[in-house]
Each structure stands twice: as structure tokens, then as C-alpha cells.
Amino acid sequence: MDIVTTVIILFVGALVIATAMTPVSKWLAPRVGVMDKPNARKIHAAPVPRMGGTAIFVAVMVVVVLFGGQQEVQQTAAILFGAAFMSFLGLADDRFTLSAYLRLVLQFGAALFVWFAGIRIRMFSIDWLDAALTVLWIVGISNAMNFLDNMDGLLAGISAIMAGFFLVLAVLNGQVLVATFSAALMGACIGFLFWNLNPASVFMGDSGSMFLGFLLACVAIKLRFVAQSPGVSWMVPMIVMALPVFDTTMVVISRLRRGKNPLTTPGKDHTSHRIAEHGFSRREAVLILYLVCCALGLVALLVSAANETAARILGIAVACVAGYMLWYMEFGPWKLKTIPNGVVKDRQTNVSQS
């Protein structure tokens, strides 16, 4: 089969399996105790099943194993094994609430595993530096995607959009492994979205967010542009994934500035929350972030085809816009402040947040 036929089969297969498996995960969640219970920082009033990520996991695994082709078998198997480990780690965290530091150590182990299997960033031509950058990228993106799972339909939709742009880039450049995973991820996320859009009847949980983050991070590493320099080549996946990177950077800065531990302090201080607290509904906030992610993907397509000078100008422009928006949301008009009782209020609207 040619690459186009393969990705269609992968996409449709993952879409159908995820759509069918999500109700199964909803039924199973209360029976194994994986429920998201209401509390002061949650908006849902009743427990919600938190095992939707298993449907995404099963959909991707099945279609990649059955229809993923025979190219780069060792690296495909390594990515699947590492992603499965991350999904089970997330599921254990959903059920038993693991220590954030234990989870981080195990994530580093999974990232090192795929490094040794050949999934490597090659930027410095010095093995230990490239290894460190690879591990930090995979662990960072895995946690950034986990952070982004904070509003109905947000993470699944953003993941589907990013996977869609990776798919287009891979097909245009004849990269089968990247196209395989991207098509499967896109289909699985859209299938899950049928049940996860506001008001969501099921959440994906850490089993889904960590799985998606790990896979997308590995896909980004494998994406190559022969005609571009390494620096410009790396701009492309960085721009595609700029939204979770931006959100995590802002949240970490915000929590450190308020004297909070970024790893263990939950709160409504994410990009989506700030948009929703300034006159937009939650659905509108999610749609706005979908549009932002689409715009970033289009810029990434331009960078991939541009000459080096134009590509660098576009990359700098994206960085400047991101820097301005970070200032605007954290230090500018949408700045948050801590009041004595520990609740965060917005400076302009005075709306309480946890």
C-alpha cells in the first residue's frame, strides 16, 4: 500500500476503535475506582469516569500493530513500548495518586529507553548533550500535555490538530513512521472527542495525557527536513507544539512567582482558564485555543518550505508573540495575584479561582 492509503486506514481504524472503546472505559472506570471526584477546584458536581485515555491507548496500539507497515520496526516497537509504559504509569497515578517525583523519575526512564532505541535529537554532535536534550524534550512535552488537560475537549482536540499537521508534514516528506503514528493519534483523539466535548461524560486522565505527550514528543523527534538545517528543522515541531510549551511555561512561572510548587500545586491558572475568566465561555475558550493551534500549524508548514532566512524570521516572530502573550497573561492586564486566604483572583474581574 502507498503512504496515503496506509494513513487513511490507520486514521479510520483508530477513529472507529476509540469511538467504540470510550463507552467501555466509562463503564469500567467506577468498577476499578478510577473516577474524577468533585472538589473545590473542579467544576463538575458529580464524579466523572477518568479512564478515557485507555480507549485512545487501545485504538493507537491496535491500528499501528496491524497496519503500521514494516519500516523501522525496532524504533516503532520501542516507541509503542515506551508509550504503553507511560499510559500504565498514568493509569496508576489516576488510581493511586503517585508521588510527583516518583512519576518524574519513571518518565525519565521511559525517555532514556527510547533514546537507546535510536529515537534521538541530534543537535550538538555530542552524545551526552543530545541525550540530555532528548530526555528533557520527551519528559517536558509529556508533562506539558498533562498540564493542558484542564478543560473539556481541550487536550484531545489540540492533540488531534497537532497530529494532523505532523501527518501532513510527514506525507509531504515521505516519512512513514511519523505518518503512521500521526494518523493513528489523530483518529483516536477525534474518536474520543465525541464523548469528551463540553459537557464531557468521560475524562482521559493521566493515562491518556501522558500517552499522547510521549508519542507526540517522539514523533516530533523523528520528523526530518533534509533540505533544512538542524536548527530550522527543529523550529517546525516546536512551532506545532508551541501551545502546550507556552501554557506550561506560563503556569510554572506563575506558580513559582506565587511561592507554589509547580509539580504539586493544582490551580486554575492555565491559558484556557484565563481566557474563560475574561468574558468567554469554556467552549469558546477551547475553540480559541483550537484556532491558535491551527494558526501555529500553518506557520510551521511555511517554515518547513521556506529558505533559512525566512524560516528564522518566522520563528523569531512566533517567539516574540509568545513572549508578549506570556507578559500579558502573567504580568500585564491579565495578571493573577495571591490574596491572604490563598485563593487566586484576577486583577480585573475579581473572579475567584483555585
Task: Say if CB 194 and CB 18 are below 8 A apart.
Answer: no
**Across the chain, what does the average pLDDT equal?**
90
**pLDDT tens digits along 176-199:** 999 999 999 999 999 999 999 999
| All structural domains of the chain with their residue ranges | 1-224, 230-354
d(CA 34, CA 303): 42
**pLDDT tens digits along 274-286:** 999 888 999 999 9
Task: Work out the average pLDDT over 102-118.
Answer: 96
Task: Work out the average pLDDT over 154-159.
Answer: 98
Q: Strand, coil or helix: what is 228?
A: coil
CA-based nearest residue to 161, from 150, 174, 148, 173:
148
Distance of CA 100 to the CA centre of its chain: 18
More confident of the two residues 155 and 349: 155
43 pLDDT band (50/70/90 cuts)?
low
Task: Work out the average pLDDT over 289-298.
Answer: 98
Handedness of CA 334, 335, 336, 339 (dihedral sign): negative
Whole-model pTM: value is 0.92
Percent of the chain whose pLDDT exceeds 90: 77
More confident of the two residues 14 and 344: 14
pLDDT at 337 over 60: no
Query: What pLDDT does residue 88 have?
Result: 97
d(CA 163, CA 56): 13
**pLDDT tens digits along 218-267:** 999 999 887 778 878 889 999 999 999 999 999 999 999 888 889 888 78
pLDDT at 166 over 50: yes
339 pLDDT band (50/70/90 cuts)?
very low
The alpha-carbon radius of gyration of the chain (Å, integer) is 20
CA-based nearest residue to 348, from 255, 277, 243:
277
For the chain, how are helix, strand and coil distributed in percent, rounded to 5?
70, 5, 25
DSSP string for 22-42: HHHHHHHHHHHT-EE---TT-
User: What does the block give as the cell for 260?
Assistant: 507554589
More confident of the two residues 189 and 342: 189
Query: What pLDDT does residue 39 have?
Result: 59
Instruction: Report which DSSP code applies to 118.
Output: T
pLDDT at 352 over 80: no
More confident of the two residues 340 and 180: 180
Q: How many Cα atoms occupy the beta-carbon half-sphere of 141 within 13 Å?
A: 26
d(CA 48, CA 210): 19
d(CA 222, CA 119): 7
User: What does the block give as the cell for 298?
Assistant: 500553518
pLDDT at 298 over 90: yes
pLDDT at 175 over 70: yes
d(CA 222, CA 332): 38
